[in-house]
Amino acid sequence: MKKAVVLIVFLSVALMSVYAQGAYFDIGFGVGKAWTKIDGEDISADFLSSVTELGVDLGLKAGFGPVADLPLYIVGVIGGIGHRFAEDDEFIQFNSYIIGPGVIFYPTPLVQLAGSLGLSFVANQSSFGEMLENDGPGFAFDISAALDFGSGHHGILLGLRYFGAVNTLEITNVKQNSSAFTVFGRYAFRHRMN
């Protein structure tokens, strides 16, 4: 199944690139508020009395655009969020990742809107041992809105991003829902509409 999805994404990007004017690339990170629920129960309420819920988001996008005569870019996305709940020597670190296709749209040259949907996996760590230390398959999505500062092919994106992931953990078979709302900054290389 994963091979079929990767093949479809690759072929879609390859076909769309025929009608694109150039390459697109962005990379960066953000910080904000993150949440994780295990089988519907909020981790911050169940495990630790004093917690830090600061989330960090990392990611990159690469693709082609603008497509035809539209301010639309087709990209592949690799990214994710991580956040840690900690108290004294005990901690739980949740990391959720996305890999998949995405689109970027510029309604004006200053405003970028983007979204992606793809496969997700997790890589959790914990001082509690094996309780949450397992990978699981799932799906994830993100949406963002940013201001694109720059001229020519180079720009700086400053914006807001919402990320969500749902995974079933392999060993315990429980459902993990992770999400984050972050403020981000990214470097972008893009071709503008001619």
- Quote the strand ranges of 71-174, DSSP E: 72-87, 90-108, 111-122, 125-126, 137-151, 154-168
Q: Which of 84-88, 117-121, 172-176, 177-181 has the lowest mean pLDDT?
A: 84-88
Which residues, 6+ apart, have CB-to-CB distance to 26 below 8 Å? 60, 61, 157, 186, 187, 188, 189, 190
**Is pLDDT at 83 greater than 90 in this prediction?**
no
In a domain, 102, yes or no: yes
In a domain, 42, yes or no: yes
Cross-strand partners of 105: 72, 113
Give the pLDDT band (50/70/90) at residue 92.
confident
In a domain, 83, yes or no: yes
In a domain, 64, yes or no: yes
In a domain, 95, yes or no: yes
Instruction: Supply the pLDDT for residue 88.
Output: 73
The pTM is what?
0.82
In a domain, 167, yes or no: yes
Owning domain of residue 122: 2-189
Give the total number of structural domains in the chain.
1
Q: How far apart are CA 62 and CA 91, in angstroms?
A: 34
In a domain, 194, yes or no: no
Say if residues 57 and 30 touch (Cβ distance below 8 Å). Answer: yes
CATH number of the domain encompassing residue 42:
2.40.160.20
Q: Render pLDDT for 126-182 as a digit per residue (tens, 0 to 9).
A: 776 655 555 667 999 999 999 999 888 999 999 999 999 998 877 777 888 999 999
